[in-house]
Amino acid sequence: MKQQILNAITVPPTARIRQAAKIIQENPVKIVLVCDESGRLLGTVTDGDIRRAVLQSADLDGTVESIMNRHPKVARRSDNRRALREYMRTAIIRHLPCVDEDMHIVDLILLDEVEDVRPQSAAVVLMAGGRGQRLMPLTEKTPKPLLKVGEKPVLERQIEQLAGHGFSRFYISINYLGHMIEEYFGNGERLGVDIRYVRETAPLGTAGALSLLEPQRDAVVVMNGDIITKADFATMVNYFEEEQVVATMGVREYFYTVPYGCVNVNGSSIIDLEEKPTFRHLISAGINVLNPRALEFIPRGQYFDMPQLFATLIENGCRTNTFQITEEWIDIGHKEDLTWAQKVFAIEDKF
């Protein structure tokens, strides 16, 4: 089976970027190995490399040699596999080519081995009731979750992605132009899932609508309706369950570079200077997993945001944690981000 995977994701340096994108889209292993005729590794191409090429308006009929990583991290056959996996978790590396002394591919080490999709008992709540003010006039007659990115609405992409991870029970929280969302998705039969609706009579924030849910026995995945991501939802839920916490917040790294030289002082004395320093923060990714106990802390029918819920849980001594999302993640709440997503997926949908 592993050899079949290797064959499916291996291409020569003359292969087209378009071909590499198609391989990444159709295979669960999101990497392309660029090898010469003897099987010697020359470089790798990942989803990120494809997207950078798209955003830089690269010719998709150009060769993968022009965008590949020519110095990928590799493993050796003699390396300790357990130690390698620990390294991969720490460095957030999902796949590591294994080579011999001449750089010929002999194996591919996967952080999470490809396996059959297992049904998930957790319900998914998609928050789709907002007005999308920042996207006006696009959202004047169309709710933000129904805005198309490529050939499909944002919300449809979310449901398909989650269904691909084994989730089948969905609730969609609706308010502004909610009837359009309900008419489009119906009961979810068209997408092979079960969809029910939580109808807000007034805006309830990013957590308030959860107070209107029917009682839940299993975990609840809560996701903002304006996010496109390839996050590993199943792994996130498994992590939440293993850690036995009341709530897990999905987070992403965010880097901000100050566009000026910064001066550190003690009183009026200069200590040192930093030219355009970059700061790293973890930001909420708008994806959370909640134990049904967490829902008890949400006031019924009142405006309540997810940060308020986490603050309340912490104040009441409930264990919470974070799960870092490293996969593709786009928040289409701003026009420039929507335009970017539309450009990327318009091309991807053609493959």
Tokens of 196: 């029910």
Residue % of the chain over a pLDDT of 90: 58
* Low-confidence winner among 111-120, 157-166, 205-214 (lowest mean pLDDT): 111-120
Q: What is the average per-residue pLDDT within 210-233?
A: 93
Better pLDDT: 124 or 337: 124
Q: What is the average per-residue pLDDT within 106-118?
A: 70
Residue % of the chain over a pLDDT of 70: 95
1 pLDDT band, cuts 50/70/90, is very low
Q: Is the pLDDT of residue 343 over 80?
A: no
pLDDT for the residue numbered 194: 96
Q: Is the pLDDT of residue 337 over 90?
A: no
Nearest residue to 302 (alpha-carbon basis) of 216, 210, 239: 210
Question: In angstroms, how far is the first alpha carbon of the chain from the final one?
Answer: 25
pLDDT for the residue numbered 340: 79
| The residue to which tokens 């998914």 are assigned | 124
Please state, in angstroms and rounded to a whole number, the distance separating the CA atoms of residues 235 and 227. Answer: 18
- Chain-centroid distance of CA 25 in Å reads 15
pLDDT for the residue numbered 115: 46
Please state, in angstroms and rounded to a whole number, the distance separating the CA atoms of residues 135 and 119. Answer: 36
Pairing of strands 148-149, 152-153: antiparallel
Q: Is the pLDDT of residue 183 over 60?
A: yes
Domains of the chain: 2-110 (3.10.580.10), 123-348 (3.90.550.10)
Q: Is the pLDDT of residue 310 over 80?
A: yes
pLDDT for the residue numbered 79: 73
pTM to 2 decimal places? 0.68
Q: What is the average per-residue pLDDT within 59-72?
A: 91
pLDDT for the residue numbered 41: 95
**Torsion sign across C-alpha atoms 219, 308, 228, 144:** positive
Mean pLDDT (the chain) is: 88
For 286-295, the pLDDT digits (tens) are 999 999 999 9
Q: Kindly give, in sequence order, each residue whose CB lies less than 8 Å from that of residue 27, ignoring residues fewer than 6 positions away.
A: 5, 8, 9
